[in-house]
Amino acid sequence: MTMDVRFELLMPEFLVAGLAFLVFTLDFFIRPVRKDILAWVSAAGLAVIIAFTVPYLLNEHDSLFDGLYRVDSYALFFKVLSMGIGIAVILGSLHFVNQRLTHPGEYYAIIIVSVLAMMMMAASGELLTAYLSLELLSFCLYILSGFALQDRRSNEASVKYVLLGAFSSGLLLYGIVLLYGALGTTHFAEMATALEGAGSVEGRLLVGLALVVAGLGFKLAAVPFHMWAPDVYQGAPMPITAYIAVGSKAAAFALVLRLFYEGLAPAYDQWQMLIAGMAALTMIFGNVVAIVQTNVKRMLAYSSVGQVGFLLMGIAALSPLASNGLMVHLVGYSLTNFAVFFAITAFYNATGKDDIPDFAGLAGRSPFLAAAITIGLFSLAGLPFLAGFVTKFYLFSAAAAEDLLWLAGVAMFASLISLYYYLQLIRQMYIEKAPEDEGGSVAVATPAVLTAVIGAMALGVVLLGVYPDPVMAAIEDATASLLGTDNAWITLGAAGQ
Amino acid sequence: MSSMESVLLFALIAVPFFGALVMVFFPADRHSLIHWYTRVIAFAGLVMAVWLFVTFDTDGDLSKYTVDFEWLPALGIRYSLGISGITTPLVLLNAIIFMAGVLVSWNVTHRPKDFFIWLTLLVAGVYGVFLATDLFFLFFFYELAVVPMYLLIGVWGSSTDFTKQPAVEIPGYGGGGKYDRPKEYGAMKLMLYLVAGSVLVWVAILAVWAEARSVTGMESFSIAALSQVEYSENFQRIFYPFFMVGFGVLAGLWPFHTWSPDGHVAAPTAVSMLHAGVLMKLGAFGILAVGMVILPEGASDWAPVLIGLGTVNVLYGAVSALGQRDLKYVIGYSSVSHMGYVLMGLGTLEVIGLNGAVFQMFSHGIMTGLFFAMVGIIYERTHLRDITVLEGLGKRMGVVGAFLAVAGLTSLGLPGFSSFVAELLVFIGTFRTYPILGVLAVIGAAITAVYILRLMAKVFFGPISDRWADLEDAKPIEVAVGAALVGILLLWGLYPFRIVEIIDSGVQPLLEGMGIA
C-alpha cells in the first residue's frame, strides 16, 4: 500500500470548493442591488477552472487513495461537463434569481458545491466514495429545490424530494452493504475480480445488486422509481428544474456507467435483462404519461423520465460503442434540455404562466423563444439535423450491435410517441392564435444574458447534430480510459459473446 | 470531390440547405425579396438537375459522380453521394416540382419567410435521399424531408369544412353531409404515419448494420458495401418487410395510405405538389434502392405481397376517388391509386416492370404537380373545393380547365402523354409475372377514366352559376407553370426513349446486383 498520493491532481476539486467559499464570503460584502456580481464571479470562476483543468489533467491517469478516487480521461470529461452545466445554470438563473428568489449568494454557492459533488461522482472508484458524493449532490439539490421560500409548491417539492431521496439513499446503502458482504470489497476493480472468481452467484449478491439498482434508479428517476420527478420538477424554481433534469442525471449516469462497466461487468448475465427491462419500461411509461400533461414542466419531467430510458440502454448494451453512445446522448440531452428549459424560464419570467395553452401564438410574439423551444423539442424527438438525431442513432446502433435490437425498436417507438406531445406544444406556439386579451400580442421580454444562454444552447444542439466529431473525440478518449488495460473484460468483447 | 459532376451533386443539396439557413436572417417583412430569393434557389437546382440529366452518359463511368467524406468513423458513417440512372430523373423531377411550386406560391403572404425556409429545407432533404449512398445520410435526409410537413400544413394549410354547405342532393355524389376535417388533423396524422414508417426503416437499417458487423466485422452504412454481405435467408425474410412497409407508408402503400389524402388535402398548394409529386416517390425509391438492393432474397420472397398490395392500391384508390366531394380528395385518392402502379412495377422484380415503375414515379410526379397547382388556383379564387357546388367553371377559367383536362387525360393513361408509356411498361411487366393482377390494374385505369371525366364534366362544363361571374382565369405566371408541366408530359409521352434508356441503365445493374437479370 503506497501512500505517495499525488494531491496536486485534485487541484480542480480544490479550486471549485474554494470558489464556493469565495462566493459565500463575497456575499457578505456586496450590497443587495449588486448581487449580480456573484453570478458573474461564479460563472467566470468555473470557466477559468475549466480552462485550467483541461490542459492540467489531459493524459493524467492515476488512482488516488488506492483506487478510491480516479483521475482519468473519463473523470475529466465529466468534470468539464459538470462545470459547463454549472455555468449554464448560473447564467440562466441570473434573471430568475433577481426577480423571484432571495439569498442569491447562497444560491450560487450551493450550485458550485453541487458541481463539485458531480465531479466527484464521476471520479469515484469505490462504492462508499460514490455514495458520499451522491449524497453531497442530493443535499444541494434538496436545498435548491426549496429555494423559493414563499412558494408553497417549491416547499412541497423540497420535502418530497428529501423524503424520497432519503429513502432511496437507504436502499442504496443497504445494497452496498450486501454487495460488500458478498464480494468482500467496495472497490470497483476488485469487485470485478471477485465476481469473475466467484463460480456461482449468491442470493445476497443479487439482492444487493437489485437494491443498488433501485437506489440509483430513484436518483435517475427511472420507472418504477420516478414518482418524485414530476412534482419536484413542477415545484422547484425553474432553473433548478433544468439543473435537476440535466445535472443530476449527467452525474448519476457518470457514476452508474463506471460502476457497471468497471465493477459489475462480469455479472453481466445477472443484470442485463434487469436494466434493459427497466429501460424499456422507463421510456414507454415516461413518454405515454407525458401525453396527458397540461403543464409544460410536468410534460418535460415525464419526457426526461423517458430520456433516462434511452440512456439506460447504454448501460444494458455494455460495449465501448454503448459507452460512447450514452455519453454523447447525455451531452446532446444536456444542451437540448437547457435550450428548452431556459426558453420556458424566459417565458415564465415574463408571464408567470407555464401551462401548455399559455404558449399559444408564441411564434408571433417571440419568434426566437418559439424557435429555441422547437429546436429543442425536435432534437429530443430525434429529428435531423439536430443533436438528438445523431446521438440517438449512435446509442441505438450500439444497442443493436449487442443483440438489443428489440430495445432499440422500443426506443424508436417511444420517440415516436414523444413526437406527438412535443408537437402539441409546437402547435400551440405556431398554429394557434395568441389570446386577444391580457397583452397576448406583446413580445415576451427576454433579458440579454438569458437570450445569449438560450442561443448558445440551441446553437450547440445544431452543431452537435451536424458536426459531432470534436465531442466524439473526447468521448472516445473517455471510454478508452474507462475500459482501460485493467478492464480487458469488455474490450475483449465479452458482452458480444 | 475533384470532378465538376461531384461538385454539382454536393451543391444540389447544399444550395437549398444552406440557402434555407441563410434565409433565417432575412427581414420577415420583405416579401418580394423572399419570393425572389427562393425562386433563385429553385432555379439553381433546376439548372443543375437539367445539366446532370442531359449530360448523363448511360454507358459511362459513374465514379466521377462521387462525393465522399468521413463523418463519424466509430460507426463507419461517411457523407457520400452518387447518382444512377434511377436517381437522375427523380432529381430532375424534384427540381421541376420545386420550381413550379415556388412559382405558384406567389400568393403566399402569411409569414412567407417561414414558409419558404421550411419548403426549401424539405426540398434539400428530398435531393439528399435521392443522392445519398450512405444509409445514415439517406435516413437523415429522409427525416429532414418529413419534419417540415407538420408546420407547413398546420400553419399554411386549409381545412375541409362541409358543415356550412347547404345539404343538396347531387346525383352521384350523395347528399351534403356534415364533414369537418381541420388541417391540424391532417398535419398530425401525416406526421405520425410518416415517422412511424421511418421507425420501421430505422429498425431495419440498424438490423442490417449490426448483422453485417457481426457477419463480416465491417462497420459501414454504405449501401453498396451492405449489399455485398450474405445475409441469411431468415434474416432477409424478417427484415425486408420493415423496409417495404416502412418506406411503403410514405409511398402510400395500402393499408397505410390514409394519411396521404388527408395530408394532401390539408396542405397548401406548393406542399401538396411536392408531397404527392415527389415525397411519395421517396417511399417507392426507398423500397427499390435500399430494401431490394440490400435484401434481394427477402425482396423476391415478399414480391407477391408487394405487387398484390399495389393492385389493391390501384383499385382502392380509384374507387375511393369516385366517391369524393372535395376536389383535392379526388386528386389525393388518385395519387394513392397511381402510386399503386409504381408499387406493382416494383413487385414484378423484372426489367420492364421496374423501368415502368421508375418512369411512373417521374410521370405521376409531374402530372400530380399539375393537378394540385390547378386545384390550388381554383381554391384560391373560389375558396371552395366542393364538387357539389363548383359548376361550369370552364366558362370563366378556360385555361385552368384545359390544363386540368391534360392532367386528367394523362392520369387515365391517354396515349401521347408520358403516363401511358409508364403504365404500359408496368402492365407488360405485370402480365409477364402475374397476369391476373395485370387485368385488375387495367380495370383500375378504367375506373380512373370514370372519376376524371365525371369530375371534368361537373366542375368545368355545364351552366355556370352567377356567383362565379367575376372569376379570374390563370395569371401569366400560372399559365407558364402549367404550360411547362404539360410540355414535359407531352415530351416524354411522344419521345420516351431517352428517359427510359437512362432509367434502364440504372435498373439493369440493380437487378444484376440482386442476382435476377
- Measure B317 CA to nearest chain A CA, in Å: 28
Closest Cβ opposite residue B147 in set A383, A469, A472 = A383
B75 touches chain A (CB under 8 A): yes
> Mind listing the pLDDT tens digit for each residue in A3-43?
577 788 888 999 999 999 999 888 888 887 787 888 899 99
**What is the structure's pLDDT at A87?**
93
User: Which helix (H) or strand (E) is B173 found in, with range?
Assistant: none
Position B164 pLDDT exceeds 60: no
Return d(Cα A346, Cα A348) in angstroms, integer.
5
Cβ contact B191–A384 (<8 Å):
no
Position B338 pLDDT exceeds 60: yes
Place of cell 419526457: A303
* Preceding peptide of A224 cis, ω within 30°: yes
Residues 123-152 of B with CB under 8 A from A: 136, 139-141, 143-144, 147, 150-151
**What is the structure's pLDDT at A177?**
92
Q: Are A305 and A282 in contact (CB under 8 A)?
A: yes
Which of A23-32, A197-206, A273-282, B452-461 shows the lowest mean pLDDT across its residues?
A: A197-206
Cβ contact B195–A416 (<8 Å):
yes
User: C-alpha B515: how far from its chain's center?
Assistant: 28
**A491: pLDDT confidence band, cut at 50, 70 and 90?**
very low
Return d(Cα B328, Cα B261) in angstroms, integer.
8
User: Which helix (H) or strand (E) is A31 found in, with range?
Assistant: none
B115 touches chain A (CB under 8 A): no
Q: Are A387 and A301 in contact (CB under 8 A)?
A: no
Closest Cβ opposite residue A416 in set B141, B151, B196 = B196
**What is the structure's pLDDT at A1?**
46
Helix (H, G, I), strand (E, B) or coil at A126: strand
> Mind listing the pLDDT tens digit for each residue in B15-54?
898 888 888 888 878 888 888 888 899 999 999 999 888 8
Residue in chain A lying closest to B219 (CA): A401
Domain locations along chain A:
284-497
The residue that leads in pLDDT, A349 or B126, is: B126
**B168: pLDDT confidence band, cut at 50, 70 and 90?**
low
**What is the structure's pLDDT at A15?**
92
The stretch A469-492 carries a mean pLDDT of 72
Residue in chain A lying closest to B215 (CA): A401
**What is the structure's pLDDT at A94?**
87
Which of A242-251, A325-334, B370-379 shows the lowest mean pLDDT across its residues?
A: B370-379
Which chain A residues contact residue B213 at CB under 8 A? 401
Q: Are A306 and A418 in contact (CB under 8 A)?
A: yes
Which of B197-206, B354-363, B395-404, B457-466 shows the lowest mean pLDDT across its residues?
A: B457-466
Residue in chain B lying closest to A388 (CA): B140
**What is the structure's pLDDT at B169?**
52
Which chain B residues contact residue A389 at CB under 8 A? 140, 143
**What is the residue-averaged pLDDT of chain A?**
86
Residues 214-233 of B with CB under 8 A from A: 214
**What is the structure's pLDDT at A237?**
86
Of B245, B249, B214, B248, residue with least CA distance to B229 = B214
Please give the model's pTM, rounded to 2 decimal places. Answer: 0.87
**What is the structure's pLDDT at B3?**
78
Q: Are B10 and B81 in contact (CB under 8 A)?
A: yes
- Measure B116 CA to nearest chain A CA, in Å: 15
B457 touches chain A (CB under 8 A): no
Which chain A residues contact residue B136 at CB under 8 A? 393
- Measure A416 CA to nearest chain B CA, in Å: 7
Residue in chain B lying closest to A493 (CA): B214
Position B306 pLDDT exceeds 60: yes
> Mind listing the pLDDT tens digit for each residue in B236-270?
888 898 999 999 998 888 888 888 888 888 888 88
Cα-based angle B189, B190, B191 (whole degrees, multiple of 5): 95
Return d(Cα B487, Cα B481) in angstroms, integer.
10
**What is the structure's pLDDT at B148?**
86
Which chain A residues contact residue B207 at CB under 8 A? 400, 405
Distances (CA, A) of B396 to A187, B376, B471: 87, 16, 6
- Measure B120 CA to nearest chain A CA, in Å: 14
Q: H helices within B217-279, ranges in order?
A: 223-228, 233-251, 259-266, 269-274
The residue that leads in pLDDT, B63 or A260, is: A260
The stretch B272-283 carries a mean pLDDT of 88
A400 touches chain B (CB under 8 A): yes
Distances (CA, A) of B66 to A309, B3, B10, B47, B124: 39, 8, 9, 19, 18
Return d(Cα B218, Cα A358) in angstroms, integer.
51
Residue in chain B lying closest to A465 (CA): B140
A469 touches chain B (CB under 8 A): yes
**Left, alpha or beta for A2 (phi > 0: left; psi -120 to 50: alpha)?**
beta
Return d(Cα B252, Cα B281) in angstroms, integer.
9
Q: Are A309 and A272 in contact (CB under 8 A)?
A: no
Residue in chain A lying closest to B185 (CA): A427
B207 touches chain A (CB under 8 A): yes
For residues A464, A404, A77, A392, the Cα torsion angle rounded to the nearest 10 degrees is: 10
Cβ contact A409–B72 (<8 Å):
no
Helix (H, G, I), strand (E, B) or coil at A374: helix
**What is the structure's pLDDT at B177?**
54
Residue in chain B lying closest to A409 (CA): B203
- Measure B191 CA to nearest chain A CA, in Å: 9
**Cell output for B381:** 379564387
**Phi then psi dihedrals of residue B85, to 5 deg:** -65, -20
Which chain B residues contact residue A419 at CB under 8 A? 191-192, 195
Position A496 pLDDT exceeds 50: no
A459 touches chain B (CB under 8 A): no
Strands B160-161 and B67-72: unpaired
B211 touches chain A (CB under 8 A): no
> Mind listing the pLDDT tens digit for each residue in A312-337?
999 998 888 888 899 999 999 999 99
Of B310, B334, B309, residue with least CA distance to B321 = B334
Q: Are B130 and B141 in contact (CB under 8 A)?
A: no
- Measure A408 CA to nearest chain B CA, in Å: 7
Position A172 pLDDT exceeds 50: yes
Position A497 pLDDT exceeds 50: no
The stretch A168-196 carries a mean pLDDT of 88
Return d(Cα B161, Cα B386) in angstroms, integer.
9
Return d(Cα A223, Cα A218) in angstroms, integer.
8
- What share of chain B in percent tops pLDDT 70? 96
Spatial CB neighbours of A333, under 8 Å, sequence gap ≥ 6: A246, A249, A307, A311, A380, A391
Return d(Cα A476, Cα A73) in angstroms, integer.
9
**What is the structure's pLDDT at A488?**
47
Cβ contact A415–B209 (<8 Å):
no
